């Protein structure tokens, strides 16, 4: 349970980081 929760959290943070990166690129353009 705890291991699955940790994996889900890492995936969420990874996706959030990608979205933030695209957001900064869009603002910078």
Instruction: Please write the tens of the pLDDT for every residue from 1-29.
Output: 689 999 999 999 999 999 999 999 999 87
Residue 8 C-beta-side C-alpha neighbours within 13 Å: 5
Q: Considering the entire predicted model, what is its pTM?
A: 0.62
> Could you tell me the residue ranges of all domains in the chain?
1-28
CA distances from 28 to 1, 20, 22 (A): 41, 12, 10
Residue 19 has a pLDDT of 98
Residue 1 has a pLDDT of 66
What torsion do the CA atoms of 17, 23, 28, 29 make, to the nearest 10 degrees?
Answer: 130
Residue 2 has a pLDDT of 84
């Amino acid at each position: 349970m705890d291991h699955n929760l940790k994996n889900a959290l890492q995936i969420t943070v990874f996706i959030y980081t990608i979205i933030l990166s695209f957001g900064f690129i869009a603002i910078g353009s």
